[in-house]
Copies of this chain bind each other. A is one copy, B any other.
Amino acid sequence: MKRTSRDIRTANRYEVLRQIIAESPTSRQELAAATGLSLATVATLVGELLDLGLLTEVGFEDSAGGRPRGLVAVNASGGALIGVDIAETYVRVELFDLALNVLARADEDMRPGESRPAQVVGHVATAVDSVVAQAGVECARVLGVGVSVPGQVDRATGIAEYAPNWDWHDVPLLGLLSEQISHPLYLDNPLRACAVAELWFGAARGRGDAVVVNLGTGVGAGLALGGGLHRGVSNSAGEWGHTTLVLDGRLCHCGNHGCVETYVGAPGIMLNLRELSPRSPLLHPEDQTATIDALARGVAAQDPVAVKVVRDTARYLGAGIADLVNLLNPEVVVLSSWVAAALGEPLLEEVREAVARHALQRPLAATEIVLSPIPTDPVCLGAATFALEGALSSITQKANQRSNRRTWSKQ
């Protein structure tokens, strides 16, 4: 798990590509200034990315008095990436160009009970076919499909080890998907997808240590430490939703009591509402999305019950986020995923106040708390980013093998 010079090279390659995606066209000189890398390192990495067809040369700009500088940009049409967000109540699939613009989207609803692996795989395959057809890209140009599934996943084997909301245990998800999808597949979970989306394209970009709090049906905290994703020894770091906030509190489906998720996940927020006002018209008992949307509208209309529920939720959330601030001392905490997007600024303000009541002065002073600035589904974007990272690493592995062979043949 120690970082090696190869890890650093990979991180630098990501950093340069991130910067070019954020700002194209650009010159090697601008890239060196923006990333803090040497011009020689940037030139090498840009050369590799040009060779791989991920970048393209787009002309020259004058530099005052010097030689004209070559400009590069993302070769947006050089390939396509697909991100799959398997959530508790829906499957969403998006197809991206290499600049990570959304070219096509497909949604499949999943009714309660419709959660057997074969059913979920069917929805994913249908939606993947749909986005490829909609975008009219050739199959060979799809560099990979990133798949996010809730719960604990083993990336190496492609197994969904434990999805608590569906009671899945050791489902060989990638194997099942590969029977119907021929593109390279990469499995991970939503908390890490949201974190990598922020790291590449959102509020964690260029920050040292960031925590991406993922608020959906499930709850987690993706950890971007030292500029990279902290995965832990068995790729299950970030299960903040199952840390104890109230000892002996609400029973959680994980078996523990008082988990953060039971107070601030969508079902937990519904319970906060039900405990306050059992017959509230805001409550849609079988529909998380409708309830959260009703709460958001209620807060906008200054409905006292909605205001109180968001305040109570923010109080739990603030105590939990203060724990992350005290433990990890991050530069930024990002509130991400659909519940955070729906409740927005009013939630953020209450959370900031609650964190300030709980956290220690010194780490609090160093931490900013923000809403995710990513305008699309961050889980799809993050899943597509895993596919981009996977494609980059498999391409560069091949390049290394070629250059090793060349070295060998010279001896």
A residues whose Cβ falls under 8 Å from a Cβ of B: 1-5, 8, 11, 36, 152, 161-162, 207-209, 221, 223, 225-227, 230-240, 242-247, 249, 254, 256, 258, 316, 319-320, 322-323, 326-331, 357-358, 360-363, 365-367
Contact = CB atoms under 8 A, between A and B. Distances in A.
Given A162-B362, A239-B327, 9 more contacts: A3-B8, A209-B230, A234-B363, A238-B329, A240-B326, A244-B320, A246-B246, A256-B322, A256-B357
A232 B363 contact: yes
24 contacts: A1-B209, A2-B11, A2-B36, A2-B227, A3-B226, A5-B5, A161-B362, A221-B327, A223-B328, A232-B329, A232-B330, A232-B366, A234-B365, A236-B363, A237-B363, A239-B326, A239-B327, A239-B363, A242-B326, A242-B360, A243-B327, A244-B358, A246-B246, A256-B357
Contact of A327 (B1, B5, B226, B238): B238
Given A5-B8, A331-B1, A236 B161 contact: no
A319 B246 CA distance: 10
B247 A246 contact: yes
Contact of A329 (B162, B235, B331, B366): B235
Contacts of A242: 326, 360
Q: How many copies, total?
A: 2
Nearest to A1: B208
A8 B4 contact: yes
Nearest to A153: B362
In the A-B complex, the 9 residue pairs with the smallest Cβ-Cβ separation, listed nearest first, are A1-B208, A232-B329, A243-B323, A2-B227, A234-B366, A237-B329, A239-B326, A233-B331, A152-B362
A208 B233 contact: yes
A236 B152 contact: no
A227 B225 CA distance: 13
Contacts of A235: 329
Contacts of A360: 152, 162, 236, 239, 242, 254
Contacts of A258: 247
A3 B1 contact: no
Contacts of A247: 245-246, 249, 258, 316, 319
A255 to B, nearest CB: 8
Nearest to A221: B327
Given A8-B4, A360-B239, A232 B209 contact: yes
